[in-house]
Amino acid sequence: MKKLFAEFFGTFWLVFGGCGSAIFAAAFPELGIGFAGVALAFGLTVLTMAYAVGHISGGHFNPAVSLGLWAGGKFEGKELPGYIVAQLVGACVAAGALYMIISGKAGFTDIGGFASNGYDALSPGGYSMTSALIAEFLLTMFFLLIILGSTNARAPKGFAPIAIGLGLTLIHLISIPITNTSVNPARSTSQALFAGGDYTGQLWLFWVAPIAGAIVAGLLHKALFDKE
């Protein structure tokens, strides 16, 4: 249960901090943090919680990460259901907290996109479904390679959260204009459930592409890099 609570709180913080920065601060009049600020916020959520609870649960905070670690032989399959449920619940509770905050703003009418992920008309830059698939697949694959490499027994100790957090920051710097950046099915699900409409209809891509990329990364690392 300690592991599941760690995953719950870690995923909550990722969604609350990352999506919260996009919702409240990205385009704030005159002093908005922009894409770079949102990218850094997502990286900081993972970095901080990896240090806070990573020693308890491994600091996945993402169903794709859990599945990628399983494919790479670093995580037991019997623990996958509990981790994924905890991650989804943490993400959805965070989205609920964000909704309660934004709905208290003067003149509130609706939540808009709510930092959801999308393609075609729902892509910030108008990118196609194919572009979104390629981007989410490749970025999640490299994210898992960073995670697996930096946590390998032969890697320098204590620095993995920094590499992982900076890796996620770079991923967002690349792909916010393409899909608003997922690489995390839990993060995508929580926001789409509140935004509704076409965001829910496009959610499948933000499960399929990240999970496929993560599993490929796990298999590649196991075959090519995880050697003595």
Query: Dihedral, CA atoms, 101, 104, 106, 108, nearest 10 degrees?
Result: 80
Q: Calculate mean pLDDT across residues 210-218.
A: 98
Rg for the chain (alpha carbons), in Å?
17
What pLDDT sits at residue 70? Answer: 97
pLDDT at 137: 98
% of the chain at pLDDT higher than 90: 93
Residue 13 has pLDDT above 60, yes or no: yes
For the chain, the domains span: 2-225
Amino acid 228: pLDDT: 53
78-132 residue pLDDT tens: 999 999 999 999 999 999 999 999 999 998 999 999 999 999 999 999 999 999 9
CA geometry: angle 51, 56, 58, nearest 5 deg: 70
Residue 6 Cα to chain centre, angstroms: 16
- CA gap 148, 217 in Å, rounded: 9
CB 97 within 8 A of CB 162: no
Q: How much is the pLDDT for 42?
A: 98
User: What is the per-residue pLDDT across 43-88, written as a single tens digit (0 to 9) for each?
Assistant: 999 999 999 999 999 999 999 999 999 999 999 999 999 999 999 9
Burial of 24 (C-beta count, 10 Å sphere; 0-12/13-18/19+): middle
What residues contact 55, with CB distance under 8 A and at least 6 apart? none
What does the pLDDT read at residue 144?
98
d(CA 161, CA 49): 9
pLDDT for 28: 87
Which span out of 30-34, 154-158, 159-163, 223-227 was modeled with the highest average pLDDT?
159-163
Q: Which residue has the higher pLDDT, 2 or 27?
A: 2
Cβ pair 172, 76 in contact under 8 A: no
31 pLDDT band (50/70/90 cuts)?
A: confident
* 159: pLDDT strictly greater than 60: yes
**Alpha helices in the chain, H assignment, sequence order:** 2-14, 20, 34-57, 63-71, 80-102, 129-150, 160-179, 185-195, 198-201, 205-220
The dotted CATH code for 2-225 is 1.20.1080.10
pLDDT confidence of residue 56: 97
Mean pLDDT of the chain: 96
- Report yes or no: 225 and 148 within 8 Å, Cβ to Cβ: yes
